[in-house]
Amino acid sequence: MAQIPSHVPAASYPSAAAVVQLLKPITWFPPMWAYACGAIASGAGLGDRWLPVALGVLLAGPLLCGTSQAVNDWFDRHVDAINEPNRVIPSGRMPGQWGLAVAIIMSILSMLVAALLGPLVFAAASIGLALAWGYSAPPFRFKQNGWIGNGVVGLSYETLPWITAATAALGSTPSSRTLLVALFYGLGAHGILTLNDFKSIKGDRQMGVRTLPVLHGAGNAARIACLIMTASQIGVIIVLAEANLITGAILVTAVLALQILCMISFLRDPEGKAVWYSAIGVGLYVSGMMAAAVSMGSQLVPSVAAG
């Protein structure tokens, strides 16, 4: 059990600031961005559906993503007590069983909000919540393997919010094109998540966490990450081109070309350039996501309005 440092006063319940720290607002951006892309790609104007879309943003970011952060910190509390003792649980700012309690309360709130948005959104949120718990909690603990864990997070943070947003905006099941593009971007996020693993190769190896850099070495892991990100975006480009969304296809191709130029430098020094490439390459990646979403939504506006 994590020990509370002597300089931290004992408390029976956490402060509001401690709860916010546990939920890590900075991590909410990816699913909220994906949600925005899904809403835009649907082609549905806000109109009288602004409330479902707003609730969906709340669901994707603070609720589901916040829940995943609370769950992860609770089940990693013993490791954090060694590696990152200043985190909110091992430091004692989240005393007793409150970390687990917050995770459970946030899970319940997530499901309540999802239920308000209809059965399709509720089903998607249920899958996301199950993956959030399975990622960190035994017996599954998907994060122990980089292939599985990164895939779970990619689908949870990109694919599911995109699909959920399109469903909430339309009030019905989104098109197969939307589902396919959302899937491609979720798969590509697998490579993005691998970039985060380069900074902790030594510690992960010692703790038995089998990230891709640990499993395959830094060089091979970098090649795998770049290949996954490139292939997923090529898939998006093909979908857009087949739908005659030429402008969108060109824009995604352009940002992919810029990423490839950066990848060349990254592959020469994976450990040294992982943070650099993550900052530049991921920014280009999510820019391409929005370009694809705007292109898809623009094509659908007339048909949605007519409906």
Question: How many CB atoms neighbour CB 82 within 10 A?
Answer: 11
Q: pLDDT category, 172, cuts 50, 70, 90? A: confident
- Reported residue count of the chain is 307
129 vs 301 pLDDT, higher one: 129
Q: pLDDT category, 174, cuts 50, 70, 90? A: confident
Mean pLDDT of 109-129: 92
- Residue 70: which of 43, 106, 39 has the closest Cα? 106
54 vs 64 pLDDT, higher one: 64
3-class SS string, 278-302:
HHHHHHHHHHHHHHHHHHHHHHHHH
pLDDT surpassing 70 at residue 11: no
- pLDDT tens figures, 128-146: 999 999 999 999 999 899 9
What domains are defined for the chain?
Answer: 16-23+41-156 (no CATH), 175-302 (1.20.120)
Q: pLDDT category, 10, cuts 50, 70, 90? A: low
DSSP code for 210 = B
Mean pLDDT of 81-103: 91
pTM for this predicted structure: 0.85
pLDDT surpassing 50 at residue 1: no
Q: What is the mean pLDDT of the chain?
A: 89
Distance, CA of 170 to chain centre: 23
